[in-house]
Amino acid sequence: MSITTLSPSETQSQGRGDGRWSERQLVAIGLVALAVALALARPLLPEWTIVRVEEGLYAYADWLDAVFNFVRDDLGLIHLTRAIAGGLEYLLDATANLLYGKKRWPHLGPIPWTALAAAAGVIGYYLGGWRLATIGAGTFVWAALIGQWSIAMQTMSVIAVAAPTAFVMGLVLGIFAWKSRPFEAVLKPVLAILQTLPFFTYLLPAVIFFKVGPTAGAVATIVYALPPMILMTTLGLRKVPPEAVEAGKMSGCTRWQMLRHVYIPSARTEILVGVNQVFMLCLAMVVLTAFIGMPGLGGKLLAMMNSFKLGRSFEIGVTIVLFAVMLDRLSKAWVVKQPEHFERGTPWWQRHAYSLATFGGFAIFVLIAFLVRDLPNVPVKAVGDPEAEGSFFGYVGGVLDEVGRKQSLTQGKGIDKAIKGFLGIDSVQAVTEWLRWFLNVWILIPFRNALLWLPVPTVILAIGALGYLVGGARSALIGAGFFAFIASTGWWDRAIITLYTVISAVILATLTGLPLAIWASRSEKWANRILLFCDTAQTFPSFIYLIPAIMLFGVNDVAVVFSILIFTLVPLTRYTIEGLRSVPVELTEAADMAGATRRQKLWHVQLPLALPTMAVGFNQAIMFAFFMVIIAAFIGTQDLGQELQRTLAGTDLGKNFVLGMCVALMALVFDHIIMRWSTDRRKALGVD
Amino acid sequence: MTNSIKKLAIGAAVAALMAPNAMAADSSDPIVIPIHNWSSQIVMSHAVGQIFESMGNNVEFVTTDSQAVYESVRLGDVTLELEVWEGAFGASFRAALEKGGLHDAGDHDAVTREDWWYPMWTKDACPGLPSWEALNECADLFKTAETGDKGRYLDGPVDWLKHGKERVEALGMNFTVINAGSAAALWAEIGAAEADKRPVVVFNWTPNFAEAVWPGEFVEFPEWVEGCDKDPSVGPNPDALFDCGNPAKGYLKKAAWDGMVGKWPHAYEVLTKISFTNAQIAEMAKLVDVDELEPEEAAEVWLENNEDVWKSWVN
């Protein structure tokens, strides 16, 4: 490809075709004109297009409730789910006993934290040398010493059940989808909806069909983590090279042997990427299940936030990030690590050296913990205090079995002070006050009122026009149809407020994130730093951003938009950096040789080529924003998220589901349009 | 381990006291006690749990939503509820009561109050407080960028149904009502105002940890009269509902699953006798929120310091 195809006149003419409007553009313009005409004719329009019917055109919620009730009670699904819940509860109790000593079968736990840290260290070393060994062991050491061991283990006890279950179910469903096209055709749209449904919609059915507490939490977590596992399994199996299949057939494999020894090993990489996703989503969800009363890190975080302990909340956030980083890095290292093969006749202890080391380290620390269990617990404060006679070794001996409250190294109060001190700085206050005034009075409130003022058909037509422009009639129908459905539910006002918040946050994120990313991509060092920062910001439990947002801006839309903005900045920045980095060196060099200035190079070479990748980031930013806007109900909003949060306290399954669908459909429309654009653009540019 | 010795001692004391009692023994199934997301309730639940354990019962704690819990109590998934607030959970409690399956297990001595509230520094700027008329005259102090000329009052989440807007209209106040999304949002607002002692008026309640962190007072509205929420003619404004303050002495109840009496008769009898005062509840909350103890430890400490209080219930 030559640079000339990327000159600005060319890129524009691709859409226009010899300077004339393409058919698509004409139709889109026609639709927009109609939309504008409708908006102008607003005073003449019938009332229902402006005053939104509170009840909705159809009582979807009631229908759904009837269906749910029928399925649950008349078809007896509740007995099945309660039976499953029983089995699940048994497993959860077992892991709970091992990890934090809940008084259930097998009555062995709790395992001392040192033993788990040692085992994680050896596994980390096996997978990725000393770096991963430090991450593995360090995470457990941090959790214990900061005084969060038992809550961290409550969370891990659920993940220990949910992640393997999601893995097995995902693998099996993925295999079915790969074997049977019709099944895949049914599964695909279901998965698309599952991936965009707000998490509040996962929670309520889990509570109703499964028992309150860890069981419901585990179920919601499994369902949430399933889709990528299924998709990655199918993808991997499809990519198995025909030679491998031939070889398997020639060796006379049965169908089961083919699957077990040919297909699955060949698809190993994709399947393990799925496993990585399962871990990440499990950890994200398990924190959010605090909203349905799941104990653990999320529950403690919520309780800490409700009693205004910012420092402790922050520390819990760090623990969650560390666990996420550990699971992520270890599972990624596992993807890369190829299975080892030993020569025939290698003694078994050599073949299993790492398993033995893991077990050995584990056993040694269990023994040590047993031996030190009667040592006095030396409080942290006593260490180095001559009067209290606490020595460092005394402290270490005391914590090797269990870290008591007085022994934890938490700095909660110190962080509290630091945060309050920061907020007390006059210049900080002046800036936030001004932002609050400026954004609220001049941008957000007028924008919201304008969107709410628009007649319903105008919005639907505008979305249809956008769809037509990008993807033709099908996309237009999807966009307009989904929005028409939302209008018919009677939740239009709230949906529009949700949309307004999402759009505002994404625009502000684009305005701040793009310049940042473009600047960072100029230097490898800064690009890496910003990417690391993005990774960390993304793994922080989403609702930890809410409190700083309120403290900076107070309870209003600015705080809501700000908390979403932090979260949406991440994918935008990351994909822009990645996109700019992946521009082929030959092209930038050619631009340099042609004497392009840095600015010209950026505008005419780098950005156009990076745009499809950036669009993916933009799309993710919107998906994240739709996710976060629901959580922002915690600050105080009048959107779908607030209604959803209200349903959690009751048994309104139908309403909960309708609201969830409204969010999912809006997200799907944007997802469809942007991804369609990105794919077409890639094809046009000849990348990929 | 002082804890186990203490438990033994309690156990012995309880056994001695129980001996002449001819009631059937309590079931060995665990008594399930719900835990919510505010400190005093968590500590109280653990304290009561430890009392039950000292009597030889099995106890288990589950974290649940504070509104949905009544449905769980009704079905027996959860055995009891120790803090039924009149203002906050009265409606959910009554709804479950009508469906059947749970019942009222008596009141605590503590009274609850929920209303407009301000931290003490607000009074420096508006000395006429706590009267609501004085507050209304100071409305200017509370205005913000988005409320324009009107003062800003931060109410509880919409689903708490506190009728802030209705009251502002009924009393003709110069205030705009903004709804927070959660309790945490209320605290963040007060915490942010604390830095430069900015006057704020927010929704708050007692007993609550916030009293220990930020001393403050409730705004005194026209006194609550029965029917103020149903009959417009009641209260100062003859044409409007919600023209008085909330009841200054709301109840704090315990609720029990109907099956509890038969299954754990001894524990049930203790439950009906349990009664905490405002001071005791505040003390429990303080152990966690100010002294930073874990709830279990806080419960232990409280039981140790207040043996005379709870021993009489077990007796």
Any domain includes A229? no
Any domain includes B295? yes
User: Which of A215, A289, A307, A635 should be substituted to probe chain B, the one whose Cβ sees the most B Cβ atoms within 10 Å?
Assistant: A307
pLDDT for A454 beyond 80: yes
Same domain, residue pair A603 and A525:
yes
Calpha distance A167→A281 (Å, rounded): 12
Over residues A605-647, the pLDDT tens digits come to 889 888 888 998 899 899 999 999 998 988 888 889 888 888 8
* Sole residue written with tokens 């639709």: A31
Q: Which residues are CB-neighbours of A513 under 8 A, at least 6 positions away?
A: A568, A569, A572, A573, A576, A621
Give me the helix-helix angle, A149-179 and A297-306, nearest 10°: 130
Q: Do B158 and A295 touch (CB under 8 A)?
A: no
Any domain includes B232? no
Over residues A180-191, the pLDDT tens digits come to 999 999 999 999
Q: Residue A5's pLDDT is what? A: 39
Same domain, residue pair A497 and A623:
yes
Same domain, residue pair B202 and B129:
yes
Same domain, residue pair B86 and B121:
no
Residue % of chain A over a pLDDT of 70? 94
Compute the mean pLDDT over every residue in chain A, rounded to the nearest whole number: 86
Distance set, CA A496 to CA A44, A635, A637 (Å): 22, 18, 12
Weakest-pLDDT range from A217-221, A401-405, B91-95, B296-300: A401-405
Kindly report whether the peptide bond that precedes residue B222 is cis, defined as omega within 30 degrees of 0: no
Residue of B nearest to A291 (CA): B65
What's the rounded mean pLDDT across residues B282-298? Answer: 84
- Specify the pTM: 0.85
Calpha distance A574→B294 (Å, rounded): 40
Q: Do A649 and B145 touch (CB under 8 A)?
A: no
Same domain, residue pair B9 and B87:
yes
Any domain includes A560? yes
3-state helix, strand, coil in chain A (%, to 5): 80, 0, 20
User: Which CATH number fits the domain that encloses residue A612?
Assistant: 1.10.3720.10
Q: Do A547 and B184 touch (CB under 8 A)?
A: yes
Q: Identify the domain containing residue B265 by its residue range.
A: 2-111+250-314
Q: Identify the domain containing residue A682 by its residue range.
A: 490-688
Q: Which helix (H) or strand (E) holds B35?
A: strand B31-35
Q: Residue B306's pLDDT is what? A: 92
Residue B49 tokens read as 């749990």
pLDDT for A421 beyond 50: yes
Give chain A's radius of gyration (CA, Å): 28
Weakest-pLDDT range from A259-263, A544-548, B13-17: B13-17
Same domain, residue pair A407 and A513:
no
pLDDT band at A412 (very low <50, low <70, confident <90, very high): confident
Any domain includes A584? yes
Any domain includes A226? no
User: Which CATH number fits the domain that encloses residue B33?
Assistant: 3.40.190.10
Q: Residue B132's pLDDT is what? A: 93
Give me the helix-helix angle, A199-209 and A607-631, nearest 10°: 40
- Determine the number of helices (DSSP H) and then strands (DSSP E) in chain A: 31, 0
Quick check: A50 contacting B, CB < 8 Å? Answer: no
What's the rounded mean pLDDT across residues A222-232? Answer: 92
* Residue B73 or A73, more confident: B73
Any domain includes A651? yes
Distance set, CA A56 to CA A42, A155, A487, A658, A663 (Å): 21, 40, 8, 11, 16
Same domain, residue pair A516 and A610:
yes
Q: Do B146 and A440 touch (CB under 8 A)?
A: yes
Cβ contacts (< 8 Å) between B179 and chain A: which residues? 636, 638
* Residue A558 or A647, more confident: A558
Same domain, residue pair B58 and B82:
yes
3-state secondary structure of B302: helix
Nearest CB to A293; choose among B64, B194, B196: B64
Calpha distance A236→A240 (Å, rounded): 7
Q: Side-chain half-sphere of B273: how many Cα atoms within 13 Å? A: 15
Over residues A658-682, the pLDDT tens digits come to 999 999 999 999 999 999 999 898 8
pLDDT band at A175 (very low <50, low <70, confident <90, very high): very high
For residues B207 and B112, is the Cβ–Cβ distance under 8 A?
yes
User: Which of B41, B63, B196 should be substituted to probe chain A, the one whose Cβ sees the most A Cβ atoms within 10 Å?
Assistant: B63
Any domain includes B241? no
- Count of domains for chain B: 2
Q: Do A424 and B180 touch (CB under 8 A)?
A: no
| Burial bucket for residue A683 (CB in 10 Å: 0-12, 13-18, 19+) | exposed
Q: Residue A52's pLDDT is what? A: 59
| Burial bucket for residue A165 (CB in 10 Å: 0-12, 13-18, 19+) | buried
Quick check: B1 contacting A, CB < 8 Å? Answer: no
Give me the helix-helix angle, A607-631 and A492-520, nearest 10°: 140
For residues B177 and B156, is the Cβ–Cβ distance under 8 A?
no
For residues A500 and A493, is the Cβ–Cβ distance under 8 A?
no
Over residues B75-114, the pLDDT tens digits come to 888 999 999 988 778 888 988 899 889 999 999 999 989 8
Residue % of chain B over a pLDDT of 90? 44
Same domain, residue pair A410 and A518:
no
**d(CA B195, nearest CA chain A) in Å:** 5
Same domain, residue pair B106 and B146:
no
Any domain includes B237? no
Quick check: A333 contacting B, CB < 8 Å? Answer: no
pLDDT band at A346 (very low <50, low <70, confident <90, very high): confident
Weakest-pLDDT range from A104-113, A237-246, A477-486, A494-503: A104-113
Q: Is the dihedral of CA B237, B239, B241, B247 positive or negative?
A: positive
Calpha distance A335→B120 (Å, rounded): 59
Q: Residue A152's pLDDT is what? A: 94
Domain boundary among A392, A424, A456: A424
Same domain, residue pair A496 and A642:
yes
Any domain includes A378? yes
Q: Which residues are CB-neighbours of B221 under 8 A, at least 6 positions away?
A: B115, B116, B132, B167, B171, B244, B245, B246
Domain boundary among A373, A405, A424: A424
Nearest one of A531, A492, A421, A480 to A673, comparing CA atoms: A480
Q: Residue B249's pLDDT is what? A: 87
Calpha distance A476→A496 (Å, rounded): 19
Q: Do A642 and B68 touch (CB under 8 A)?
A: no
Over residues B221-266, the pLDDT tens digits come to 998 888 888 888 888 888 888 888 888 888 999 999 999 999 999 9
Q: Do A642 and B146 touch (CB under 8 A)?
A: no
Calpha distance A379→A399 (Å, rounded): 9
What's the rounded mean pLDDT across residues A572-578? Answer: 90
Compute the mean pLDDT over every residue in chain B, rounded to the nearest whole number: 86
- Count of domains for chain A: 2
Q: Do A307 and B180 touch (CB under 8 A)?
A: no
Cβ contacts (< 8 Å) between A424 and chain B: which residues? 195-196
Same domain, residue pair B277 and B214:
no
Any domain includes B208? yes
Weakest-pLDDT range from A129-138, A237-246, A584-593, B86-95: B86-95
Same domain, residue pair A497 and A390:
no
Calpha distance A122→A118 (Å, rounded): 6
Same domain, residue pair A522 and A653:
yes
Q: Residue A2's pLDDT is what? A: 38
Over residues A14-59, the pLDDT tens digits come to 444 456 778 888 888 888 888 888 888 877 777 666 655 556 667 8
pLDDT band at A370 (very low <50, low <70, confident <90, very high): confident
pLDDT band at A390 (very low <50, low <70, confident <90, very high): low
Q: Residue A48's pLDDT is what? A: 65
Q: Do A306 and B183 touch (CB under 8 A)?
A: yes
Q: Residue A340's pLDDT is what? A: 78
Same domain, residue pair A655 and A519:
yes
pLDDT for A12 beyond 70: no
Calpha distance B190→A405 (Å, rounded): 29
Over residues B166-193, the pLDDT tens digits come to 999 999 999 999 989 888 889 889 988 8
Over residues B40-75, the pLDDT tens digits come to 889 999 999 999 999 999 998 887 778 878 888 998
Q: Residue A10's pLDDT is what? A: 39
Any domain includes A184? no
Any domain includes A85? no
pLDDT band at A4 (very low <50, low <70, confident <90, very high): very low
Same domain, residue pair B35 and B101:
yes
Q: Which helix (H) or strand (E) holds A106?
A: none
Same domain, residue pair B10 and B84:
yes
Over residues A264-275, the pLDDT tens digits come to 888 988 898 899
Weakest-pLDDT range from A381-395, A576-590, B172-186: A381-395
Amino acid (one-letter) located at A166? A
The count of CB pairs under 8 A between chains A and B is 134
Any domain includes B243? no
Interface TM-score (ipTM) > 0.85: no
